[in-house]
Structure 1
Amino acid sequence: MKLVGISGALAGSKTAHMVAQVLHAAKFLNPHIETELIDLKDYDIEFMRGYALYTYNEDTVTVVNKILKADCIVIGTPIYQASISGSLKNLLDHLPEYAFDKKIVSFITTAGSEKYFLVGEYHLRPIIQFFGGILPSRNVFVPDDSFNDESEIVDKLILKRIEGMAKEILDLSGKKE
């Protein structure tokens, strides 16, 4: 089984750390799964123009194909202006309608204020459902004050929620161990 994490931020490292934490927790629960982090700041994803995938650059095609080949996906995004990041939305626009068909797809979000904790539910959940993804009940919101100066999560309750999310992803996928 392959679990792919997507960090949908082009600046900072909090989002990548959040997603990596989920991947690490899943790998700890089942060392036999394969994990991969796709950090969008490491790729040149072209702006979606409505053309067939093969017309875009190699990075765009590579990232889309990695997502299509994944068995389970964790999407991480900061919340900007009460919405998901533009880079993540652009990537999602490149995916075909069946991209998440019968895949377990969860999400983890962060924002400067706790008042944005439901943005993922209102923005990402409908997109994931549109693509046919199966959503776990445990998606995680991480407020900015849960990070230390190195952008690592230090809030033990948040870490416990991340472990619960990883466990539920594996449970739903049938790959507990």
Structure 2
Amino acid sequence: MKILLVDGTIIGQKTSAILEQTRLYLLEASPEVEVTILKLADYQHQFVDGRPLGEYNEDMQHIAREFEEADGYIIASPIFQGSIPGVLKNVFDLLHPRTMRYKAVSIVANGGTYQHHLVIENQLKPILDYFRCFVTPNYVYTHTSHFDEQNRITEEDVHDRLRELARVFVKYMEMGCTLSKETLDTH
């Protein structure tokens, strides 16, 4: 099973730190999974405007292929100005509506205020619902106070929640992999 960890920003280090810790807990929960980190900062992005996928640059096509080939996703997003980064929304706009269908998704996010966790509920979850993903009921939201100067997570509670997220995600992914998209699409 292939898990795609999506670093949904092109700046900052905290989102990457959360994903790296999540990767370790995923491998602890299920050592046989293949985990790939997709850092949006590593790609040349184009604005998605509805043209066919083949008309975008190689980086955009590669991002779409990574999503298509994955069996599940951990989406990591900072919260900027009370919203997800535009680059992450642009990637969602790139994907075919069936790309993520019936695949497991967990969310990790970080922000500068404790209220920004509502962005997950009010913006990110509705997008993932549109894709008909199996969104796990638990997500992990971190605050800048949960990190030290080297962007290491210092709060044991955050580590506990990431471990739990990894365990629940693996179960959701197993469930998603047992479903046949073709069978579900015909009904």
Provide, for residues 69-100 of structure 1, a one-character-per-residue CA deviation record: whole Å limited to 9, x for no partner.
10010001110111101110111110111121
Contact 1:108/1:140 (8 A) holds in 2:
yes
1:151 has 2:151 as partner: yes
- Work out which of the two has the higher radius of gyration on C-alpha atoms and give 1 or 2: 2
Q: In structure 1, what is the Cα distance between the partners aligned to 2:172 and 2:48?
A: 32
Q: Which runs of 4+ in 1 moved over 3 A?
A: none
What's the CA shift for 1:173?
2.1
Cα distance between partner residues in 2 of 1:81 and 1:136:
25
Q: With the length of structure 2 as denominator, give the TM-score of the two structures.
A: 0.90
Alpha-carbon offset, residue 45 of structure 1: 2.0
- Structure 1 CA distance, aligned partners of 2:48 and 2:167? 34
Contact 1:101 1:133 (C-alpha < 8 Å) held by counterparts: yes
- Residue equivalent to 2:141: 141
> Which residue is equivalent to 2:183?
none
Please list every run of 5 or more consecutive structure 1 residues that lacks an aligned counterpart in the other structure: none
Alpha-carbon RMSD: 1.1
Q: Deviations over 1:18-72 (max 9, x none)?
A: 1222122111111110000001001112111210111011111001110111001
User: Which residue is equivalent to 2:39?
Assistant: 39
Alignment of 1:1-177 (within 5 A): 1-174=1-174
Give the aligned residue type for 1:18. Answer: I
| Pairs aligned (count) | 175
CA contact (8 A) 1:99 1:132 kept: no
Cα separation, 1, equivalents of 2:17 and 2:67: 19
C-alpha contact (below 8 Å) 1:110/1:142 kept by paired residues = yes
Does the residue aligned with 2:101 lie in a helix, a strand or coil? coil
